Structure 1
């Protein structure tokens, strides 16, 4: 397809579903290219934090770095919502956001055994790939899941808040499993929405959405595998 036709469509604010196959595939390549770059950057930071002992010791003892990155991540998320269509500002903000998320995830994984982190990484990759292929090939309308998924998300957030006071191991495991399932469903839902409801120029928003789905899935799988490992040792 001619490049000028592709660009004109992307600037027209149309949904990807209304485009021809070339534009749809081009949009997919763009979104998944960005998400892949984000995940590689996050993986690099996580590996650095785990394998470099001085860095590992520093991040484990630096609450300021962790909470500062969390606040910066939220601020950058808000900024990207306002500047998502402003190139190259959106890419700069996205890189900074991914770096902050990488610090958060990298700090978390230093508290787990490397083999458990690797297992969670491989399992997350496999599940994400399978769910993505399923969604892209499916003829079902997953957009109706939105309200239900959002409701379950709030229920799990409330349960997680209660767990801060209850400290119940079984409840913690149930929350982790339920949350992992929830983000599996969110990957299906968001992939469907990106292909059928999202404007073609909203590739930054689409990339962030999928990236956060995958990161959250990884973190909950990590908790599940760690809990199962501890149960075996008892």
Structure 2
């Protein structure tokens, strides 16, 4: 991961025609099927996050512009424009789906926070939380591990909708245990973090897509820290220890948000295929919700 003096990111055309990995023998050839995106396995509460490096389809290989045997300039410019327009349409579709997901999630959080009977119901009957966790995990595995359901309409939308409802219920249930002030603080800080990350990813030349291995190690360390913290807090609640763990988790998930956003943009070393709009929305959605949950733990411990 290196940074250059120019603050503007490389144009899509440069990334499409001169990828860094063009000589990598692992790259798929024309006509071959794209490899599936990586998977990560979240756990209840502060979920763990797993990433596998190097399994995304390389940027530009899905369109292969600039490899026309005729060498005709008009064909070159036409394919160049087509590739850029496809990527832009893909980004718009992902953010449209993501907006709908976040609207559902934070609407559920608002209901579980402000409507007292609903708040007391979800606290009194935790079995619904564990049921939603099972649905969340099963649908997540289907979307990440199975290419056909993830790409086939309308099943991909149906599965993503079920996943969104399940995670929204889990998020709302967790939020119901915190004061309204802590929830408001968490929502505000999460919004600021997401906007800052998006602006950073579209403006910087720093490439986070080559840091999948580091993020995988960070997620493992976060899981270990979470287990140790849970054991310690089960004997005696230590607010600063809880806040420290939640702060580390928020930072790690922010790095994952940067990573997945740059995969979405597509002008870095690695990129996600435009066919994977469901996976793109799923990745960003999980990152944002988990950032919110970690920040909620920090603000909740601070306001106690």
Match of 1:71 in 2: 134
- Residue 55 in structure 1 maps to residue 129 in structure 2: no
Match of 1:38 in 2: 101
- Following the alignment from structure 1 to structure 2, what is the Cα–Cα distance between the partners of residues 64 and 107? 11
- Residue 123 in structure 1 maps to residue 193 in structure 2: no
Q: 2:206 aligns with which of 115, 140, 146?
A: 140
Report the secondary structure of 2:210's partner residue. Answer: helix
TM-score, scaled relative to structure 2: 0.69
Match of 2:67 in 1: none
Match of 2:37 in 1: none
Structure ranking higher in helix proportion: 1
Task: Give the deviation of 1:170 after TM superposition.
Answer: 3.0
Task: Give the deviation of 1:73 after TM superposition.
Answer: 0.3
Query: Contact between 1:176 and 1:224, CA under 8 Å: does it hold in 2?
Result: yes
CA gap of 1:105–1:118, structure 2 versus 1, over 3 A, is same
Q: Provide Cα deviations, 1:136-171, integer angstroms capped at 9, x if missing partner.
A: 222222112211111011111111111221114333
Query: Contact between 1:143 and 1:189, CA under 8 Å: does it hold in 2?
Result: yes
Report the secondary structure of 1:201's partner residue. Answer: coil
RMSD of aligned Cα (Å): 1.7
Q: Provide Cα deviations, 1:89-117, integer angstroms capped at 9, x if missing partner.
A: 01001111100001000001111111211
- Residue 203 in structure 1 maps to residue 277 in structure 2: yes
Match of 1:4 in 2: none
Correspondence 1:74-89 to 2 at 5 A: 74-81=137-144, 82=146, 83-89=149-155
Match of 2:222 in 1: 156
Query: Contact between 1:116 and 1:225, CA under 8 Å: does it hold in 2?
Result: yes
Query: Contact between 1:15 and 1:200, CA under 8 Å: does it hold in 2?
Result: no
TM-score, scaled relative to structure 1: 0.88
Task: Give the deviation of 1:15 after TM superposition.
Answer: 5.9
